[in-house]
Structure 1
Amino acid sequence: MVRDDDQYIPVPSIFRCPISLDVMESPVSLCTGVTYDRSSIQRWLDDGNNTCPTTMQLLHTKDLLPNRTLQRLIRIWSDSLHLPPRNSISSSPPSSPLQPPPPKDPLRHLIHHMDADPFDSLSKIVRFARESDDNRKFLAESDGFILVLVEYLGGSSNDEDKNIDVLEQVVMIIDLVKDEIQDREELSRWMLKKTGRDCLASLLLIAQHGHVNSRIASAGVLESISVNAEAKILIAEKDGFLHQLLKSTAREKDPTVIEASLSCLIALSTPKRVKVRLVYSGAVKQLSKLLWDPNSTTATVEKALKVLETVSSVKEGRGKICEDGKCVSGIVQRLLKVSSAATEHAVTILWSVCYLFKERAAQEAVGRANGLTRILLLMQSNCSPAVRQMCADLLKIFHVNSKSVIICYDTKTTHIMPF
């Protein structure tokens, strides 16, 4: 802890020297990669030790490499708290608060003039951001920091020149701090305007070849910057993006990647142009597979149905849903025993294609899938008024008097609980 005006301020663990446990003034790294305050590690070495105090590895060299990246982060952190350096003597009278000069864009310098290993530097910032909400807020509010990351992300138009390991760290930092960014529209403009195509190329590269955590982060960043119709269209019309998001929902993928990709598709798919493009990218067939997959999580089924509900509002989407008999029957199968949200999405899709637009092929598919019985059971459940009304409309399509049929079913099926 750092004491400041009788209040204790939590210190990020990466700022502490492993030997003294104080905030480091001059962080230096051993050949083992562990960083210490120079005075502490120098005393250790001067005492005749030839091992790393933390790992106890034998040191093949006792050279101390300055960790300027960490030193800058510590300086930025201490400046933000108006803390004087440890052991400093101020000539100002005690009653005068310390007013350190504002740092001259140190975070830009941190990114563009990193030490020999930018991956290591960014990894430390990722760990710093993961440590607490305060750290994430600090990074998000640091003047120029997010813009520097965006410029780094869009720094090269040639995928071959991009170091994907470093880009993954950049995207994970943006994903970690995005909820602390006050002006999300400004972030979207930064990523989609001047360097937008290059930023999207980097995000696509990560979605295609990145590790699980960075693919999830990439989808999260895309969802975050989909702030309006223009942004959604720019992203969706980037060659390969919708196809890659759909590919990421394949059944053999990690469930968290599937859910993140579906959430991104939901965010992108409100403009009509995107819905149509999504249909032609093969969304209906892929989402149908998720509905039939017994291993799909509840969240996956809910999100898959939500995307299908969205595309059912355009003619092209309804056409594909009707063409794919397995899709309609998959929707019918998911009417019950998933969740209230899944039920509402499923009923809305059937209501749209069968009742509102009277698609004959969809009506026949519902009949073959024993949809009438499920709709009747749903009406007897504790469903919402909106779902009940849509079920009543669907029964009219099948020329069923809902009241008489429900009375008939009452004594036979009330023991069946849909949820």
Structure 2
Amino acid sequence: MGLSLRMRRRGGTKNDVLTPAITSSSSEEEEIVIPSQFQCPISYDLMKDPVIIASGITYDRENIEKWFESGNKTCPVTNTVLTTLEQTPNHAIRRMIQEWCVANKGSSLDRIPTPRVPVTSHQAVEICGKLLSATRRGDHVVCAEMVEKVVRLGRESERNKKCFRQNGAGLVLCVCFDAFSENANVSELLEGVLFLLTWMFPVGSEGQGKLTSTASFSRLVGFLKSGDQNAAFIVKELLSLDEANVHKLAAVNGVFDALVKSIRDSSSLTSIFHMISAKPETTTRFLELGLVNSTVEMLVDSENSVCEKALLVLDAICESDEGREIVRGNELTMPILVKKILKISEFAKKSLVSVMWKICKSGDGSEVEEALRLGAFKKLVVMLQVGCGEGTKEKVTELLKMMNRYMKMNGFVDVSDSSIEFKHLKKPS
């Protein structure tokens, strides 16, 4: 017994190509049968990476791993409880499958390549141990070799990355980075460590402690200044994990310049938001470096996820009088806010409305006039009618009331839709 694939042969020479069968009276049809011993008992597909489990049954590795990851500890065929979930490559079956594919090379079946054997827990522990030992004795050459090995193996599969994560690689890499952070001659090694650390978060409290030491944070800021995206990601992760890390980072020389310089990286935007939110006094330093101009410019043509982060930063800036004044003074602020009202995600709209509400409420009325002239009234009405979060709805309602009062007091005609009267607004259900 076996799985049948109906194929048709084109032409009539010995070099004919086999393709999936299509009913045709003029085609000679051929049936290819996949032997049952080559089929995975779970999917019934041809096995690409056959492995034997403790019950003695062979499965395709991908399918049996999904079975185990779902919480099952039994053999799908025999239903017996397994003493171990380890899988052993079935080289004999794999070679037979490859030979069978070669024999049917004229068909639509491709030869199954020899699979890469995944990293085992024992191998991961061994590699991490060698890296840790080399770190402790200051041998950066061996450290670089081990880091390169982890990079190569991790790139082979997500399973390998997971195996290293589960066997302590994150902490060992943090220890390595901290140990060599003051060595100016090992930048390549540290770049490799940073790359690997992007796979390892969260790294635990001990790992965080190593990465947030004065030496490590200073070296991270140095990489940040050079535009290293992995450093930007790691700084963002550290700041989001613990507010105490914000205070540590704020004390590092050059960090504000580095974050503003790398603001085009969305990770740096998030880091700036965390710093302003957790330590409001940092706002002044960021404003001195032109943060408002850089953030507003990012709103012009950035994708939704970047807009969300940029608006979060602007909203945080507007918590201070100084911040609101500078945001109001930027000629692009209101035009961009009005333009984006109905073109961004619901999450971003919350921040956008908050920014507009803060600068209009604290201004002299010119902001309300500009918003009206740009057509904000009609767009805010639409937002209210479509529905939004409770806090956002309150701010939208207050903005509309401000605009409505201004129109009545100044005889302002809203050219975007002059027929709209606030008292006729439909309340969201």
Superposed displacement of residue 168, structure 1: 1.0
| 1:172-205 Cα distance to aligned partner (Å, 9 max, x none) | 11121114x3x3x43322222xxx1221222122
Superposed displacement of residue 10, structure 1: 6.6
Alignment correspondent of 2:223 = 206
Q: Does 1:279 align with 2:287?
A: yes
Alignment equivalent of 1:222, drawn from 225, 232, 235: 235
Superposed displacement of residue 354, structure 1: 1.9
In the alignment, the residues of structure 1 paired with residue 388 and residue 124 of structure 2 have an alpha-carbon distance, to the nearest angstrom, of 56
Matched residue SS, 2:230: helix
Answer yes or no: is the 8 Å Cα contact 2:128–2:172 preserved in 1.
no
Alignment equivalent of 1:366, drawn from 366, 371, 380: 371
In the alignment, the residues of structure 2 paired with residue 283 and residue 266 of structure 1 have an alpha-carbon distance, to the nearest angstrom, of 11
Q: Does 1:187 align with 2:207?
A: yes
Superposed displacement of residue 112, structure 1: 5.2
Alpha-carbon RMSD across the aligned residues, in angstroms, is: 3.8
| 1:80-103 Cα distance to aligned partner (Å, 9 max, x none) | 6xxxxxxxxxxxxxxxxxxxxx99
Residues 332 and 237 of structure 1: CA distance in aligned 2, closer, same or farther (over 3 Å) = farther
Alignment equivalent of 1:165, drawn from 188, 194, 204: 188
What letter matches 1:136 in structure 2?
A: K
Superposed displacement of residue 274, structure 1: 3.4
Greater mean deviation of Cα atoms: 114-123 or 316-325: 114-123
Q: Does 1:301 align with 2:327?
A: no
What letter matches 1:228 in structure 2?
A: D
- Alignment size in residue pairs: 308
Q: Does 1:330 align with 2:336?
A: yes
Q: Does 1:109 align with 2:133?
A: yes
Residues 106 and 346 of structure 1: CA distance in aligned 2, closer, same or farther (over 3 Å) = same
Alignment correspondent of 1:18 = none
Answer yes or no: is the 8 Å Cα contact 1:323–1:361 preserved in 2.
no
Answer yes or no: is the 8 Å Cα contact 1:207–1:244 preserved in 2.
yes
Matched residue SS, 1:122: helix
Answer yes or no: is the 8 Å Cα contact 2:181–2:215 preserved in 1.
yes
Matched residue SS, 1:154: helix
What letter matches 1:221 in structure 2?
A: I
In the alignment, the residues of structure 2 paired with residue 111 and residue 3 of structure 1 have an alpha-carbon distance, to the nearest angstrom, of 38
Superposed displacement of residue 231, structure 1: 1.0
Alignment correspondent of 1:266 = 273
In the alignment, the residues of structure 2 paired with residue 2 and residue 106 of structure 1 have an alpha-carbon distance, to the nearest angstrom, of 29
| 1:230-256 Cα distance to aligned partner (Å, 9 max, x none) | 211221332222322222234xxxxxx
Alignment correspondent of 1:396 = 401
Answer yes or no: is the 8 Å Cα contact 1:321–1:328 preserved in 2.
no
Superposed displacement of residue 117, structure 1: 6.5
Q: Does 1:248 align with 2:255?
A: no
What residue ranges of structure 2 are gaps of 5+ in the alignment?
1-49, 63-88, 92-117, 408-413
| 1:2-49 Cα distance to aligned partner (Å, 9 max, x none) | 7674478979xxxxxxxxx999xxxxxxxxxxxxxxxxxxxxxxxxxx
What letter matches 2:262 in structure 1?
A: S
Alignment equivalent of 2:318, drawn from 312, 316, 333: 312
In the alignment, the residues of structure 2 paired with residue 248 and residue 298 of structure 1 have an alpha-carbon distance, to the nearest angstrom, of 19
When the two structures are superposed, what TM-score results if normalisation uses the length of structure 1? 0.62
What letter matches 2:287 in structure 1?
A: V
What letter matches 1:270 in structure 2?
A: S
Answer yes or no: is the 8 Å Cα contact 1:150–1:191 preserved in 2.
yes
In the alignment, the residues of structure 2 paired with residue 218 and residue 140 of structure 1 have an alpha-carbon distance, to the nearest angstrom, of 19
Answer yes or no: is the 8 Å Cα contact 1:167–1:202 preserved in 2.
no
Superposed displacement of residue 346, structure 1: 0.6
In the alignment, the residues of structure 2 paired with residue 197 and residue 266 of structure 1 have an alpha-carbon distance, to the nearest angstrom, of 22
Alignment correspondent of 1:151 = 175
Superposed displacement of residue 336, structure 1: 1.9
Superposed displacement of residue 130, structure 1: 4.2
In the alignment, the residues of structure 1 paired with residue 344 and residue 216 of structure 2 have an alpha-carbon distance, to the nearest angstrom, of 38
Q: Does 1:234 align with 2:285?
A: no
What letter matches 1:391 in structure 2?
A: V
What letter matches 2:402 in structure 1?
A: I
Matched residue SS, 1:190: helix
When the two structures are superposed, what TM-score results if normalisation uses the length of structure 2? 0.60
